[in-house]
Amino acid sequence: MIHVIATIKLKEGGRQKFLGILKENVPRVLAEQGCRGYTPAVDVESGIAVQAAPRADTVTIIEAWESLEDLHAHLKAPHMLSYREKVKGLVKNVGIHVLAPA
């Protein structure tokens, strides 16, 4: 099992439109072989002192995959290529962390 934390920084004011497109794609991702979780999330103010300042134009996707092979297949899936084309005008940049259980 591997986990992915994907951080998508959006152009100012594009979060709602981006989330609409992303949420349409989530069921297709969840149906992929090896996908064990794919959850979009946004920052909330918690009042916890060590929390970093909430980011208004950032979406984080928390993913779980059975294997690296499944993750690589996900990145090439036709619905992911289409999704990337639809959101490219909304996204500033994307960063990921690929993690294994410790």
Percent of the chain residues topping a pLDDT of 70: 100
Instruction: Using alpha carbons, list the distances in angstroms from residue 46 to 49, 53, 54.
Output: 9, 10, 9
CATH number belonging to domain 11-91: 3.30.70.100
Those residues with Cβ within 8 angstroms of residue 93's Cβ, 6 or more apart along the chain or in another chain: 8, 9
Q: Are 22 and 40 in contact (CB under 8 A)?
A: yes
The mean pLDDT of 80-100, rounded to a whole number, is 97
Q: Are 18 and 10 in contact (CB under 8 A)?
A: yes
Percent of the chain residues topping a pLDDT of 90: 100
Query: pLDDT, tens digit, for every residue of 44-83?
Result: 999 999 999 999 999 999 999 999 999 999 999 999 999 9
What pLDDT does residue 68 have? 97
Q: Where are the domains of the chain?
A: 11-91
- Read off the pTM: 0.93
